[in-house]
Amino acid sequence: MALPVDPEIRAALGNPTTAEPGPPVGDVETRRRNLTTGMAAAATAWKPAAGVDRTDLTIPTPDGYALPAQWYRPVDAEKLTGAVLFLHGGAMILPLLPIYDAVARMYVQATGVSVLLIDYRVAPEHPDPTPVEDCYTALHWLSEHAGELGVDPNRIAVMGDSAGGGLSAGVALMARDRNGPAIAELLLIYPMLDDRTYHRDPQLPAEYITFGYDDNRTGWGALLGVELAGERVSSYAAPARATDLSGLPRTYIEVGNLDILRDEDIAYASRLLSFGVPTELHVIPGLPHGYDILAPDALATRRAVENRLHRLRSL
């Protein structure tokens, strides 16, 4: 029997009765068009928050690339703030989309922390390790420039959704193994953590799977190429592969129980706890992947977002 769907999610998705067939595995361009169109439609429900300054900038990478970034800060900030490196979603294949401007502004207005949003390079044009190395470079830059940005370097969090959640977990492993920069808090929102997730769960209602198994396999395939599901995949690319999770920062994980990534996220939280990492896990009934983008005003979404805001306010 299929798991029940939150009524507000049903309404937001138009009460579908059958699953729409998607593009074949490996079709990156069609997925890019579909996801970009879908996110643009979802963005109409988001209203940019007031009281937030934005500065566009670039961050130099070790290979000579100028990494595009956006820096958001409360307009009335008079003292050092905490800061969040936010890594956007997009199945490892989508660049930064305009909706994340509104997302970043919301976090800044609601918490008083500053946000660094980056447009990391994506696969398949830039396969592993480029995306996660871009993200780690951004963390280093944020830490090194904390003083001039008005940020307390001891209050820097890393946060991301979907692909960005997986990259956030990878960055945390890198920071541990490379002796910094320090991360005060790690927030993983329905993160992509395991390139081996492609066995279908019959309990998930197919018509409400908003990020499907073929989408997941396409994203991981674009990132990893022939190494997909093989023995040589780096834990920085697929953090579920890590054998040692000790020494990681306090971690918050959130996922809907209708998400194909649910079980890998639960497993990662369980392993973090087994290694002594303070971990908070929320598995939210009735919600699929991307619920906060698709239905920002739903009660379940608002409760979930409030949990995130609580963690950010504690920075």
Residue 6 catalytic? no
Question: 194 and 223 in contact (C-beta within 8 Å)?
Answer: no
pTM of the model: 0.97
Give the lowest-confidence range in 38-47, 89-98, 135-144: 38-47
Q: Pick 7-11+23-313's CATH classification: 3.40.50.1820, 2.60.40.10, 1.10.510.10, 3.40.50.720.
A: 3.40.50.1820
Residue 289 catalytic? yes
Residue 162 catalytic? yes
Question: pLDDT digits over 274-305, tens only?
Answer: 999 999 999 999 999 999 999 999 999 999 99
- pLDDT score recorded for residue 112: 97
Strand order in the sheet with 279-284: 52-60, 66-74, 114-118, 81-87, 151-161, 185-189, 251-256, 279-284
Domain locations in the chain as residue ranges? 7-11+23-313
| 41: pLDDT strictly greater than 90 | no
Cα 144 to Cα 147: distance, rounded to the nearest angstrom: 8
**Percent of the chain with pLDDT strictly greater than 70:** 100
The overall average pLDDT reported for the chain is 96
CA–CA distances in Å: residue 150 to residues 43, 142, 184 = 30, 11, 17
Question: pLDDT digits over 177-219, tens only?
Answer: 999 999 999 999 999 999 999 888 999 999 999 999 999 999 9
Q: Which of 88, 161, 235, 289 is catalytic?
A: 289
- pLDDT score recorded for residue 45: 79
Q: Which of 162, 168, 195, 292 is catalytic?
A: 162
- pLDDT score recorded for residue 43: 80
134-147 average pLDDT score: 98
Q: Which of 6, 101, 259, 292 is catalytic?
A: 259
Question: pLDDT digits over 6-22, tens only?
Answer: 999 999 999 988 888 89
Report which of residues 37 and 151 the model is more confident about.
151
| Type of residue found at 76 | D
DSSP 240: G
Question: 80 and 150 in contact (C-beta within 8 Å)?
Answer: yes
